[in-house]
Homo-oligomer: A and B are copies of this chain.
Amino acid sequence: MKLSKLIGDRFRETPSDCVVESHALMLRGGYMKYVANGIYSSLPPLRRITGKIERIIREEMDAADGQEVQFPVVLPASYWQESGRYDTVGSELLRFTDRNGSPMVLGMTHEEAAVALVREYGATYSRYPFLFYQIQTKFRDEARPRAGLIRVREFTMKDAYSFHTSQEDLEACYRRCHSAYERIFARAGIPEVISVASDSGMMGGNLSHEFMLLTPAGEDSIVLCPSCGYRANMEAAECITEGPPDKKPDSAHSSLPLPALTEVSTPGVHTIDELCAFLGITAAQCCKAVVYQRNRDDSYVVLFIRGDLDVNETKLTNLLGEEIHPGEITEGSGLQAGFIGPAALCAGLQGNDGKNAKPTLLFDRTLQGRTGLVCGANRTDLHYTGLCIERDCPDAVYHDFAKAQEGGICPGCGRHTLTISRGIEVGNIFQLGTKYSKAMHMQYVDADGVSHYPLMGCYGIGIGRLAASVCEAHHDEYGPIWPITIAPWQVHLCAIRSDNAEVHAMADALYEELQRAGVEVLYDDRNVSAGVMFSDADLLGIPIRLIASPRNRKEGCVEMTLRGNKADTCKIPVDEIVLRVREKITALTAALQP
């Protein structure tokens, strides 16, 4: 390919709306073009990268006994009605009707289609296990697409589905796919990707892992323990705190009397910080209220948690089994914004105008057994001191709702070793159990003639997001530094002073020779300055660069340098170039073999 014919513009300026570097570099380098919010067209360099990623994925999924299939993008709504997700999934699922009025959806994931595909095939035990995958366009109507290819609405995904007659068999396949994923990420140039326990979210099921590239550009928070190796997505990480410093009120060993619930005037004090400053206490001595409303009917959910902790909304959603949003406190709700406390609410709601249902009260387990806390009195400018949860809120039930914290206690080893890192989720694997087979009435008959629901696993990788993640992991201020395995081309040949007939002829000959040898070459034959040529080459990020110039030509040489390591530069006699380039390609590829 000659660079002079490559479609797409490259430019220096960082577009204003880019919050991550891969987004900016891939726009600046002519990899993609904006179409609509969260929707892009791929230009040739990106299409070549994603094509190579797809090839690696196919090889590894085939090696894991996966069979390639293809599902439609447009699916009948009836599939999702059967599974129940037509109602439980929010507006990310794009619903529409076709010309005949039939309700349809755009596939955002294909569990239902997978069950429908093999419902009859999988009717007898002897056909199990089986694993199949597709590489196909998906649409997820995200509320907030961001960060270029990291979070889009339309994307290409490899999604795989496996079917099993036993948990052991599911786990064996899960491990096989886990290994395949490690190999895929290593071959794509990011062996540093780690798998972390995750929340199964709308997929359902029992166990799931996310594959995370740790990078500040990530939008996920990952909880890691460098001591024991514990790894979990924040959404799934258990929050462990030390027990209450006081004894429980009903304990036989209790010697001190419990403090009394005492009203204190706190004019204009609305936040935990203000309260701590006003009373000279720490946030851990406060009982904080966080208010949500159910999406379904806007009914209130008030969650009480230790003042120094934050709410993990995924845990809350999972417990409630439905979607929520941050609460907006209205006049007649009976809730007093800034002064909400459990003692007053447990004693009975004042000021509720009857239009609002009584709020659901939930307690984080960090409050269990705590005494002497400060909380709101549910009246303007009033708080209580001396809150003793089990005395003042006798019916409270406790769950883990808190986010793990930096320096917090590791659920694995019990030490104060937790660190929080940012990460991009580049893949995920789920043990779905029988959720979909049960809902969609897929059964098999075992050797004894007894019917069972098969167990399912599912396994996803977003192709574009993986490309962007590799760019996040491997770039400098001038552009991406693509690993040889997914680089758009293997070699970038620059003819400096291509108006010099001898340089031009040498570069032309080299271009032809390399192509004949099966090397993928991008040839910059333009009559532009070396500066423009090199900055374009940096933006295109091709690993091996060859430079033909008047000076080199006189020496009968071409300069070879690496995009990732400019110190690795040498002059190579023209007649050795093909050999040396092939050696370098082999060495760079081998270095990425897992």
Contacts and interface: CB of A to CB of B under 8 A. Distances in A.
Contact of A154 (B73, B99, B154): B73
Interface in A125-152: 127, 130, 132, 134, 136-137, 139, 141, 143
Given A98-B141, A141-B99, A121 B36 contact: no
B94 A98 contact: yes
Contacts of A48: 68
B143 A6 contact: no
A67 B41 contact: no
B137 A73 contact: yes
Contacts of A76: 35-36, 39
Copies of this chain: 2
Contacts of A8: 121
A35 B72 contact: yes
Given A41-B70, A73-B73, A154-B72, A65 B5 contact: yes
Nearest to A70: B42
A120 B72 contact: no
B39 A74 contact: yes
A44 B73 contact: no
A282 to B, nearest CB: 42
Contacts of A156: 70
Interface residues of A, number: 60
Interface string A1-34: 1000111110000000000000000000000010
Interface stretch (A111-119, A164-172, A215-223, A582-590): A111-119
A99 B143 contact: yes
Contacts of A39: 72, 74-76
Contacts of A65: 5
Contacts of A154: 72-74
Contacts of A42: 69-70
B68 A7 contact: no
In the A-B complex, the 9 residue pairs with the smallest Cβ-Cβ separation, listed nearest first, are A96-B96, A42-B70, A91-B99, A36-B76, A44-B67, A99-B141, A39-B72, A47-B68, A72-B154
23 contacts: A5-B67, A7-B117, A7-B118, A7-B121, A9-B120, A33-B116, A35-B116, A36-B72, A39-B72, A40-B72, A41-B69, A41-B71, A41-B117, A42-B70, A43-B69, A43-B117, A47-B68, A47-B70, A48-B68, A70-B156, A73-B73, A74-B153, A94-B99
